Structure 1
Amino acid sequence: MTTNNITPEELWARQQISPLDVDYDLWNERRASIQTFSRISQSCIFTVDVFKERYDFASDNFATIFGYNPTWIKTIRKQGDLLEERIHPDDRAQLVEHQIEHGQFIYSLPREQRNDYQQIFQFRMLNVRQKYVNVISRHQVIQKDKKGKAWIIMGVMDLSPDQTPMERIKRTVINRKTGEILASTVVPSNQQLTKREKEILLLIRRGFLSKEIAFKLNLSIYTVNNHRKNILAKLNVDNVIEAINRAESYGILY
């Protein structure tokens, strides 16, 4: 996993948003609407100001569910990276890698397509009872500047219905216009699965045996078993249960 030593802040700076292209009167009105909604929502909602490179808003549920100081939450614009402090340290490092990788992906696209994507993460966060719980956090651009650049990003965080212990964060990227689901490109190149290998692993996850997969895909059982061996070798695991878990954590099974 490489990011060329680029930081998220450096990627944000590439937007080169001009103060002439951001309308804070307009945003203050829209922020007020989000604040009103947050008071009736059970989710934890936050916004990030890319131009000012800081958090712009965080809902009171961060105090209720995760034990943050309510005063800090209400003054989030002065608190730096406050929201990150209760993320599991291992997951926090992975999140930074994913944010950088996503930024590099976004800047590889034509400008008119850069704001079309939503990232969905599952990671561990310390709750009000001082226990790590799995949360799902969805991030997307909700306000652009006058030239169409990403200006305000919103995150919506909820407790995950899946509280199975996890060692790696899970990440999915969705094109909001087309519905296309993208696997994370930070999967090491030697662990990338072919289309056929993904197809077979998905069928294994559904409970199909090798002979049933062979019949369904019109392959020989020898070929299916070879694919199974390749999947285990690529993902560096000992059995298909571990293979499924690892592939899901990489976001290459959906």
Structure 2
Amino acid sequence: MNNNFNWDFWVDHTHLLEDREENLKRVPKRYYFIFNAYTNDFEYLSSSFTKFTGYDSLINIEHFLDMIHPDDVQYCADCELKIIKFLNQLYFEDNFQFSTEYSYRIKTNLGNYIFIRQKYHALEVDSKGFMSKSIVFHELLPNDYVRQEDDFIIYDRIKNRPVISQNIYNFTNREWEIVDMIVEGLSSKEISLKINLSEYTIGTHRKNILSKSNSSTFLELSKKLKYVF
């Protein structure tokens, strides 16, 4: 260790937050855990789990599965099969690019059911590219929450938009490439230089994209993409 450098700011930096006020409204209603997909063990469980579910801990995977509302079991199974199918196409570091989410009901220790939105992504990947550990978040939803028929989503954390498994807009691969760059904030000229196409061609692509998606602007399209599952 380099004793000639003062690391106090790193070892204890809590004093830097002394003047920061609490904002309880921003505290998310959620708990999280680390799940080992090899052993099916819960390696870590946040303290807020007890607050929202009434259980002291998750004993094993069977306990967790028994918490799922009987009417949501098939939906959860279908979602997990979709995730497995998708992840099996990925290699190594690609796993970290995507997160998945969907909602269902779980039973609390008091016997009532609460709606949660489950979100998780890879925390550790083995040498074969298998997601061996994941970090899972359960966000509590309002009491009057009603799930859509299918709210399953795989989210691209780099492109900041959902992965659309069914291309309802019938975009070509080139059009998707241009959509992503426009959403990132690139101009037609910058896109032209980046993919070696003329600005005129980029303009044509832009018109076709808006026409196919029935959008007036790319801001409107960007909003639509967030709700296409």
Which interval holds the TM-score relative to the shorter structure? 0.5 to 0.7
Give the aligned partner of residue 52 of structure 2.
Answer: 65
CA contact (8 A) 1:45 1:58 kept: yes
Give the aligned partner of residue 107 of structure 1.
Answer: 88
Give the distance between the partners of 1:141 and 1:128, measured in 2 at CA.
29
Q: Secondary structure, in 3 states, of the residue corresponding to 2:61? A: coil
Give the aligned partner of residue 51 of structure 1.
Answer: 38
CA shift digits 1:15-69 (9 cap, x unpaired): xxxxxxxxxxxxxxxxxxxxxxxxx97521111112223332323333321232x
Give the aligned partner of residue 152 of structure 1.
Answer: 133
CA contact (8 A) 1:122 1:169 kept: no
Identity of aligned residues (%): 15
Q: Which letter does structure 1 place at the counterpart of 2:117?
A: I
Q: Secondary structure, in 3 states, of the residue corresponding to 1:170? A: coil
Pairing 1:142–2:123 present:
yes
Q: Which letter does structure 2 place at the counterpart of 1:118?
A: S
Q: Secondary structure, in 3 states, of the residue corresponding to 1:134? A: strand
CA contact (8 A) 1:118 1:176 kept: yes
Q: Secondary structure, in 3 states, of the residue corresponding to 2:96? A: coil
Give the aligned partner of residue 228 of structure 2.
Answer: 253
Closer/same/farther in 2, CA of residues 150 and 109 from structure 1, 3 Å limit: closer
1:93 Cα deviation after fit:
1.9
Give the distance between the partners of 2:84 and 2:108, measured in 1 at CA.
29
CA shift digits 1:178-218 (9 cap, x unpaired): 223124x5xxxxxx68328xxxxxxxxxxxxxxxxxxxx88
Q: Secondary structure, in 3 states, of the residue corresponding to 1:166? A: coil
Give the distance between the partners of 2:137 and 2:102, measured in 1 at CA.
10
Q: Which letter does structure 2 place at the counterpart of 1:116?
A: Q
Aligned pairs for 1:120-135 (under 5 A) are 120-135=101-116
Q: Secondary structure, in 3 states, of the residue corresponding to 1:115? A: helix
Q: Which runs of 5+ in 1 are unaligned?
A: 1-39, 186-191, 197-216, 225-250
Q: Which letter does structure 2 place at the counterpart of 1:194?
A: I
- TM-score, normalized by length of structure 1? 0.49
Give the distance between the partners of 1:169 and 1:122, measured in 2 at CA.
9
Give the distance between the partners of 1:81 and 1:111, measured in 2 at CA.
29
Q: Give the number of the structure whose alpha-carbon radius of gyration is greater.
A: 2
Give the distance between the partners of 1:164 and 1:123, measured in 2 at CA.
10
CA contact (8 A) 1:65 1:128 kept: no
Give the distance between the partners of 1:152 and 1:218, measured in 2 at CA.
42
- TM-score, normalized by length of structure 2? 0.54
Aligned pairs for 1:3-22 (under 5 A) are none
Pairing 1:179–2:160 present:
yes
Give the aligned partner of residue 168 of structure 2.
Answer: 194
Alpha-carbon RMSD across the aligned residues, in angstroms, is 3.4
Larger displacement relative to structure 2 (90-99 or 49-58): 49-58
Closer/same/farther in 2, CA of residues 146 and 166 from structure 1, 3 Å limit: closer
CA contact (8 A) 2:36 2:43 kept: yes
Q: Secondary structure, in 3 states, of the residue corresponding to 2:64? A: helix
Give the distance between the partners of 1:166 and 1:90, measured in 2 at CA.
12
Q: Which letter does structure 2 place at the counterpart of 1:195?
A: Y
Q: Which runs of 5+ in 2 are unaligned?
A: 1-26, 171-209, 215-225
Closer/same/farther in 2, CA of residues 131 and 166 from structure 1, 3 Å limit: farther
